[in-house]
Each structure stands twice: as structure tokens, then as C-alpha cells.
Amino acid sequence: MAGAGGDRWVGLATDFSEGSRGALRWAADNLLRAGDQLLLLHVIKEADYEQSEAILWESTGSPLIPLPEFSIPITAKKYGAKPDAETLDLLNTVAREKEVMVVVKVLWGDPREKLCQAINEMPLSCLVIGSRGLGKLKRVLLGSVSDYIVNNATCPVTVVKPHDG
């Protein structure tokens, strides 16, 4: 069960944006501890069936991919993911310095639904998600993944807002 000593699964939702890197930095500084498992959840809205293995894993998401394997460009491409070098470097540094195991799960579909599904299936001890910092009007018009997750997740959720620069 998640939460037992050494079995804590911390989720981190990412779209490989600066906001997601900020959430990763926050988790590394404030939450992660040695022995944790960090589950990086990446949701792709629309699967490209010709360029990835999405058709095989669309309903369940990809298998858990260890960070060293996901860091190989051909592996990420196989699942249709496009991680940036800065995020991969940060993840590898966090894994080494915090002594946490990092695994990646790629999901396809609506980010709100897929993230809640992943939370329930793992189950996660908590989830950290970045916020794009949308204003109230844009959030109403576009919807907010973080708002939805906060209100529907079955585990504690921390939303990391962007720093004003």
C-alpha cells in the first residue's frame, strides 16, 4: 500500500513545461525523501498511432518506464513523448541526490481524467502538479487541469504556481 515505509509513491504530473519543472523543483526541495518512488505522469491529448505504441496502451497507459530507459530518445519517441533535456537532467539529478527511483508513465486522452485514473490505479500517496497561472476568465473558458485534479483526486494534491519573474 502506498504510504508504508519505503513504499511511498509520489506522483508528478508533467507536460515538460517550465511550470512542470517548477513543480519538480518544489517536490525535490520540500517533499521527496530517500526511498521514495517518483512517478512522472505525462498525458498526451491525442495519440499519434503511426508514430508511437499508443494503440497498444491507450486504455491503460504505458508500462512503468525507468528514467534511464525513458532518457534514451528512441524510447520516449516510441511512446510519443517529447521530453526536454532540461527536465531529464533535473530528473536524473533529483534521482541521484535524493536517492529516489523515478519511473515514467505515459497516458493518452483527457489529462484530467487520465491523471485521476492513474492516481486511483497506483495508488499514489500524493500528487504534485504545476499551474500555468491562468487568470480567472481563461480558467473558466479553457478549464483548469489542476482545479479539476484538486477537486476529484483521491489523494492529497499540491499545486505549484509559477514564480513571478
Q: What's the CATH number where 93 sits?
A: 3.40.50.620
Question: What pLDDT is recorded for position 16?
Answer: 94
Q: Is residue 35 part of a domain?
A: yes
**1 located within any domain:** no
Q: Do the domain assignments include residue 3?
A: no
Beta pairing class for 101-108 and 65-66: antiparallel
Q: Is the pLDDT of residue 140 over 60?
A: no
141-165 pLDDT, tens digit per residue, is: 445 788 889 999 999 999 998 875 4
- So what's the pLDDT on residue 132? 66
In a domain, 2, yes or no: no
| Number of domains comprising the chain | 1
Domain annotation covers residue 4: no
What does the alpha-carbon distance between residue 35 and residue 137 come to, in Å, rounded to a whole number?
A: 41
Residue 146 confidence (pLDDT): 87
Task: Find out whether 108 and 56 touch, Cβ atoms under 8 Å.
Answer: no
Determine contact, residues 76/84, Cβ cutoff 8 Å. no
Is the residue at 105 inside a domain? Answer: yes
For 4, 119, 142, 150, 152, the CA distances from 155, given in Å and listed in that order, are 15, 7, 24, 9, 9
Which range marks the domain in which residue 103 is found?
Answer: 9-160
